[in-house]
Amino acid sequence: MNCAECRENLVACVEGLLAAGQNRECLAHLGTCAACRAEHATIARLQRQLVARGQAVAEMSIVEPVMRRVRAVQETEPESNSFMKLLLKNRWGFGLGAAASAAAIILIVLLTSSKAQATAVEVMEKGAKAVAKLTSIHLRGQLRTLPADNFSYINPDCDFVTIELWKQFEPELRWRVEKPGRVVAMDGESTVFFIKPPANIATKLPHPTPGGAFDTAWLDRIANLSNTITNELKNALAKGWKLSLSEETGADGRSKSVVTVMAKSGVPDNDYVKNAFMEAADTRRVYRFDAQSELLESVQIYLVRPSGEVQIFDLSQIDYNQSIDTNVWRLDLPADVGWAQLPENLPALPDNEKYASMTAEQAARAFFEACARKDWDEAGKFMSPVNASLKDYLGGLEIVSLGESFTSETYSGRFVPYEIKLPAQEFNVRVSNTNSAKRCVLTGFYDSKLQLQQDFKWSTEPEVLTNNDAYAKLSPAEAVKAYFAAQSKLDWVEMRKFTSEFDVEETKKQVEMAEKHGMDVHKQMPVVETGETTWSPEQSAWFVKCRMFQVKKWNLAVRKDNPAGRW
Amino acid sequence: MNLTDQEYVERCRDGHPEDFRLLVDRYQKPLFSFLAGRFRDRLQTEEAAQESFVRAFLSLKKLRKPESFYSWLLGIAGRVAKEQFRALERRQRDREAAETVLANTADHAEDYPLEEAITVLPESHRQVILLRYYEGLSCQETATRLGLPLGTVTKTLSRAYALLRQELQARERAEQTVNQTQ
């Protein structure tokens, strides 16, 4: 396909109307031609804007109210009357007619709503002025998320995790955002993002950023309070969000002004990422200002779902203008950190055409196949960096199936459904019978080098069972086998005979979360084979060698909006 | 019945006022979207949209170019929005709060020229855009509704995109020139 043919087909391509063969040709051309690719991106952007506009007004209809007013005007007024007269009489007519009470209610709602909004705006404006000349800000809050996942990832089923932001405005701009598994810091010269071990991956923007880089924008918006208010107002204007105001007395006995914003993401309900990220979530945001000092004191964000609201963020600590230690802006990275290449710097390969012409599904297959044969150079063409933990995790995998890719409103790439058999993972289980029940129980998981990975945190002695003797006869390896058999059947009572309450509860939580995400838990439960047992005199315990086989079924995110035009 | 804007306007003028319903149905969503860029409140937006249609109906006889009904309607809506802001300003005891509303509204309006850009499209192109995006029909459903082959709908969409982009770019350039002059 040449440029002219490609451009003629671009809209049909964006609309998903091309036949499979034609679509492949079009995508192949896009992979090789930067000008057509730019044209494609522009059309896709315009289409997204139009779709968003249409969706925002999908439910509205004013045909009937307009036609009622049109009829009323026609019936009561001669043509020569001015519009204002018509309108006045029309409204007066409503007042006298059967619709009087309904009209009055509408009017009251309108006035109350406008007044409440204007006052809410006023409170936020004053709040912005109160912090107009900040030298620094420090925010500390709790977010329902996974410790090492994206900064804006939210999941109401997760526990709260601490998230913190430091930002220095004067004398020089510096900032840092951190959660337990990842951190990003801007030291005035560059912006470094680090996913902590075991991932141990870092990436660097070789220039300062004003804030919000690497998925931290939603938190940065709160730090830049005056911008927050402007943005909230702009969004409220554009999308019809509601602002409201209430007064309350705080725990400190002082009066507080509470502004509530009902924010809609505009992301369709059936979108894959809906409510999984701050930007894709419908939320109720509560800003609490001290009425006297006018300073923002706290922010709560609630996820609004058809099933009800759940609090996902609680910002309870805001420190204004405090001196921040300069060490905060510096990250001490491990020597063996893997440096990830940024997509915007992705170079073209000598045989770039081959990769640029792939479909999302072909790219996913090529990546998994490279991992299957441990061809890390090839795998590295699709993912950066390929570090030791990734090699351990995916090296030698087996592809079960790959599905048809799909898109999301908020992600400019595609998601490819996949099912793979992960390579066997070797690990050890520590088993001890130095307890009053004299039974073999599991106390923790260790890696192949006997480094502790997970402690089962026994807090009480194992109980003496009614049929304790039968269990006391089991060897360490048999106990481990029985433990995994019970786990795979989700038989918590049986599992509890071999492990701590902590381990049972943790496993239950993981299973519940996986089920909520629609995973087939029974199918994805790991299969574990036991190997030799070794006695450790230092630890007074056995170590049972194990091999775990696991199936993983999920969606691979891929994108090709980079200079090389490949996935 | 799927007539052109001009035909509907003429029927309304010729004693079929109920046909105005078809024009409301055709343009309520882009009009609402256009006004939503100027108000922060859905009720206010709805009120302004109703008011705009009622005024348009009352002034139909003065419309010189019936084929330009949509762009004329947006002009009316712009004036209605201004009047409502003035009324809001009068209602506010605190003038400052009202100024904030107006200032933010002005900023915001500049970000939302799409509905205005749609006015430059030939009517056949505009109908395809409105049905496809504002009514949420698929291309095939749009083709069926308009009694056109699917290929014609995609070609019309292509041309409409090109025209919309030209118009948006022209507006952006004009805005830059104004900013530089200021």
**A60, B25: Cβ pair inside 8 Å?**
no
| C-alpha–C-alpha distance, residues A512 and A508, integer Å | 6
**B91, A114: Cβ pair inside 8 Å?**
yes
Show residues of chain B in contact with A71, CB under 8 Å: 17
Residue in the structure block whose two tokens are 């299969």: A527
At A365, is the pLDDT very low, low, confident or very high (cuts 50, 70, 90)?
Answer: very high
pLDDT digits (tens, 9 = 90+) for A467-502: 999 999 999 999 999 999 998 888 999 999 999 999
- Does the CB of A109 have a partner CB in chain B at under 8 Å? yes
Size of interface A-B (CB pairs under 8 A): 156
Show residues of chain A in contact with B159, CB under 8 Å: none
Does the pLDDT value for residue B39 go beyond 60?
yes
**B97, A70: Cβ pair inside 8 Å?**
no
pLDDT digits (tens, 9 = 90+) for A254-277: 888 888 888 888 788 888 788 888
Residue of B nearest to A106 (CA): B43
- Does the CB of A27 have a partner CB in chain B at under 8 Å? no
- Does the CB of B102 have a partner CB in chain A at under 8 Å? no
- Does the CB of A113 have a partner CB in chain B at under 8 Å? yes
**In this structure, is the dihedral angle defined by the CA atoms of residues A475, A480, A481 and A486, taken in order, positive or negative?**
positive
H/E stretch holding A486 = helix A476-488
**B53, A58: Cβ pair inside 8 Å?**
no
Residue of A nearest to B51 (CA): A66
Q: Rounded to 5 degrees, what are φ and ψ at A314? A: -135, 100
Residue of B nearest to A107 (CA): B43
- Does the CB of B55 have a partner CB in chain A at under 8 Å? yes
**A83, B59: Cβ pair inside 8 Å?**
yes
- What's the pLDDT score for residue A106? 26
Show residues of chain B in contact with A54, CB under 8 Å: 29, 133-136
Show residues of chain A in contact with B100, CB under 8 Å: 121-122, 125, 233
- Does the CB of A51 have a partner CB in chain B at under 8 Å? yes
**A11, B58: Cβ pair inside 8 Å?**
no
Show residues of chain B in contact with A66, CB under 8 Å: 20-21, 24, 28, 50, 53-54, 57
Residue of A nearest to B107 (CA): A234
Our CA-based measurement puts residue B181 at a distance from the nearest CA of chain A, in whole angstroms, of 26
pLDDT digits (tens, 9 = 90+) for A370-402: 999 999 999 999 988 888 878 888 999 999 999
Q: For the packed helices B42-58 and A63-76, what is the interaxial angle rounded to 10 degrees?
A: 40
**A50, B38: Cβ pair inside 8 Å?**
no
Q: For the packed helices B69-91 and B95-111, what is the interaxial angle rounded to 10 degrees?
A: 160
Average pLDDT over all residues of chain B: 79
- Does the CB of A84 have a partner CB in chain B at under 8 Å? no
* Count of CB atoms situated within 10 Å of the CB of A166: 22
| C-alpha–C-alpha distance, residues B17 and B9, integer Å | 9
- What's the pLDDT score for residue A96? 26
pLDDT digits (tens, 9 = 90+) for A491-547: 999 999 999 999 998 888 888 877 776 667 777 777 888 999 999 988 889 999 998
pTM, entire model: 0.52
| C-alpha–C-alpha distance, residues A123 and B100, integer Å | 12
Does the pLDDT value for residue A100 go beyond 80?
no
Q: Do β-strands A441-446 and A411-432 pair in parallel, antiparallel, or remain unpaired?
A: antiparallel
At A233, is the pLDDT very low, low, confident or very high (cuts 50, 70, 90)?
Answer: low
